[in-house]
Structure 1
Amino acid sequence: MSGFTDARIRLLDPALTELGQLQVSDGRPHETALVLGSFRRRSNGDWDFVVGGKGYPGGLEELLRDFGVEVD
């Protein structure tokens, strides 16, 4: 795999018109798994998306282990 060199998050309206876009890659040619961000619930019940951008050169296996998943 070539990794992430053009990763982005796009915000679309219901008609699929792009409202905005956020580049989350800074040229990650050796990382084959990437956490783009996470959703966090606010105290008032609303949700926020927090940009992450953590890459894993070891791919999905490394990502899963980082989150405590046992991989055989």
Structure 2
Amino acid sequence: MASLIQVRDLLALQGRMEAKQLSHSLDTPQPMIDAMLARLEAMGKAVRIQEDADGCLAGSCRRCPQGKACLREWWALR
């Protein structure tokens, strides 16, 4: 089980990562990583970076069967 400090340190080392990558690297369940990232964001230590929909080739992400699965969400330290 990873700690909040380990999540912060890994983000500091890697620059930016997705929650799924953090979960895999730290061998911690994704819901726990999501909660830790939300806490870091609330404390003003981390920032959520979302890709624009410009990367969608069809331009129809709202009707996408995967439900915007093509849009990636990154996390980085402030």
Question: Do both share a fold (TM > 0.5)?
Answer: no
More strand by percentage:
1
Larger Rg: 1
Of the two structures, which has the highest relative contact order with CA contacts closer than 8 Å and spacing of 6 or more? 2
More helix by percentage:
2
TM-score, normalising length: structure 1: 0.27
